[in-house]
Amino acid sequence: AQTIHQWPVAEIKAVGSPLSLGCTIKGKSSPNLYWYWQATGGTLQQLFYSITVGQVESVVQLNLSASRPKDDQFILSTEKLLLSHSGFYLCAWSGVNQDTQYFGPGTRLLVL
Amino acid sequence: GDSVTQKEGLVTLTEGLPVMLNCTYQTIYSNAFLFWYVHYLNESPRLLLKSSTDNKRTEHQGFHATLHKSSSSFHLQKSSAQLSDSALYYCALSDGATGGNNKLTFGQGTVLSVIP
């Protein structure tokens, strides 16, 4: 069975500090990977997707970047956090050419 | 672009009463998939139902929904609410494209609160 793990579970960070959020998928070879974000009171929106190692496409510009250093790993990062980065970050995977996405437990981020 | 509307932010029901959570959508893609995800506190959002077939009822774990392309709706229903149904429910849409980005467009979510 496939499992998806996100870290950390929650973070409180200062404005201007760096951030790195991680996501690992086990039990699935060459998944499509996605990052979603939900601001407080907002709607989940897709930030990035990746269909292969080393290749990441940006969907929404939020002064964030993403990387896929391994087949099973997806990293979301920024060098300088903004207050507007606060929210809930979800990682998801799907099979290639498959419609259903499976989500991780998410990371809650508060930027002060 | 695509959009999904869930008008109710919060639905409070007494246990045993029927559940109906509304979802309407807009898309230009005729092969769009519609999904209902359920998100319990401290768990991962998980798929509850999905459909891309017009006028076909889809059922899972006591919940059902029928995709009506004529009215662009995919309402979630259950005949009798249980306390354990209390959760956040998302309606979502993907354009059905194969390969590349399988982007999900979400509604705002509806919190279902079932009370004794």
CB A42 within 8 A of CB A104: no
What's CA A103's distance to the chain center, in Å? 10
Residue appearing with tokens 């050419």: A97
Give yes or no for residue B39 having a pLDDT over 80.
Answer: yes
Residues in chain B closer than 8 A to A49 (CB atoms):
101-103
| A-B C-beta contacts closer than 8 Å | 59
A43: containing domain? 3-111
Give yes or no for residue B99 having a pLDDT over 70.
Answer: no
Average pLDDT (B61-66) is 97
Give yes or no for residue B116 having a pLDDT over 70.
Answer: yes
For A101, the closest of B98, B99, B102 (CB atoms) is B102
Residues with Cβ within 8 Å of residue A86, at least 6 apart in sequence: A39, A40, A109, A110, A111
Q: Give the alpha-carbon dihedral of A38, B111, A74, A81, to 10 degrees.
A: 30
Q: How many domains does chain A have?
A: 1
CATH code of domain B3-96+104-115: 2.60.40.10
Q: Residue B97 class from Cβ within 10 Å (0-12 exposed, 13-18 middle, 19+ buried)?
A: middle
pLDDT digits (tens, 9 = 90+) for A86-106: 999 999 999 877 778 999 999
d(CA B78, nearest CA chain A) in Å:
22
d(CA A10, nearest CA chain B) in Å:
11
For B103, the closest of A4, A46, A103 (CB atoms) is A46
Q: Could you state, in chain order, the average pLDDT of each consecutive group of 10 residues for chain A (112 residues)?
A: 94 97 94 94 93 92 94 97 96 85 96 96
CB A70 within 8 A of CB A50: no
For B98, the closest of A92, A97, A101 (CB atoms) is A97
d(CA B20, nearest CA chain A) in Å:
21
Q: Can you give the CATH number for the domain in which A30 is found?
A: 2.60.40.10
d(CA B37, CA A44): 12
